């Protein structure tokens, strides 16, 4: 999915656009399976009682609330979180009802590093740490292909003429 062009300046191009890694969705998928399976099991247990209709409605309401809170909300949060590197800046936007974002001009980025634990290395993601002119370094967790993103940020901040080769290879 391309990043909205109306947020970019005229001569700005998107170099990398990522959502957080899919590992953020493991728990919601597990909850989905448990809630649906548990709801079906409880609905069949309640079916043989005299208050079957009220019990099934209560199970459906509780199951629906759990699915919205623990499955749908994290999925929408994942889908609406954008990590974007352009030719001029690094942008991170997240949120549905309350959108928050940060833009860091490439000229303000001092250093970029990545941290990857064993699980992150197996899943192909990691934490990107960007040190800019601000006081504290900014950490962005669960960035897919974090080594590639770090390399692209480095190339964009240093205007490496070979960056077209890397863009063609890694996107």
Q: Give per-residue pLDDT as tens, 15-26.
A: 899 999 999 999
Average pLDDT, the chain: 87
Q: How many CB atoms lie within 10 A of CB 32?
A: 17
Contact 78, 25 (CB under 8 A): yes
The closest alpha carbon to 107, from 159, 61, 146, belongs to 159
Residue 31 backbone dihedrals phi, psi, to 5 degrees: -60, -40
Look up the pTM and report it: 0.78
Interacting residues of 4 by C-beta distance below 8 A, sequence separation 6+: none
* Confidence at residue 2, expressed as pLDDT on a 0 to 100 scale: 52
* Confidence at residue 19, expressed as pLDDT on a 0 to 100 scale: 93
Q: Give per-residue pLDDT as tens, 114-141.
A: 999 999 999 999 999 999 877 788 999 9
Angle between helices 26-46 and 52-67 in degrees, nearest 10: 180
Using CA atoms, how far apart are residues 77 and 171, in angstroms rounded to an integer? 23
Using CA atoms, how far apart are residues 148 and 167, in angstroms rounded to an integer? 10
Q: Which long-range contacts (CB under 8 A, 24 or more apart) does 72-81 make?
A: 74/24, 74/25, 74/27, 74/28, 75/25, 75/28, 78/19, 78/20, 78/22, 78/24, 78/25, 79/19, 81/19, 81/20
Q: SS3 for 143? A: strand
């Amino acid at each position: 999915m391309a990043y909205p062009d109306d947020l970019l300046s005229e001569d700005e191009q998107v170099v990398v656009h990522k959502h957080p890694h899919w590992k953020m969705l493991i728990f919601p998928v597990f909850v989905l399976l448990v809630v649906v399976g548990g709801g079906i099991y409880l609905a069949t247990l309640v079916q043989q009682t005299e208050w079957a209709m009220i019990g099934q409605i209560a199970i459906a309401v509780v199951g629906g609330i759990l699915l919205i809170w623990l499955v749908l909300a994290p999925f929408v949060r994942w889908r609406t979180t954008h990590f974007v590197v352009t030719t001029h800046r690094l942008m991170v936007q997240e949120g549905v009802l309350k959108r928050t974002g940060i833009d860091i001009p490439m000229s303000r980025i001092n250093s970029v590093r990545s941290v990857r634990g064993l699980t992150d290395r197996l899943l192909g993601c990691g934490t990107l740490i960007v040190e800019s002119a601000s006081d504290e370094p900014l950490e962005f967790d669960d960035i897919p292909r974090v080594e590639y993103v770090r390399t692209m940020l480095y190339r964009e901040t240093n205007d490496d003429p070979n960056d077209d080769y890397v863009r063609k290879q890694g996107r």
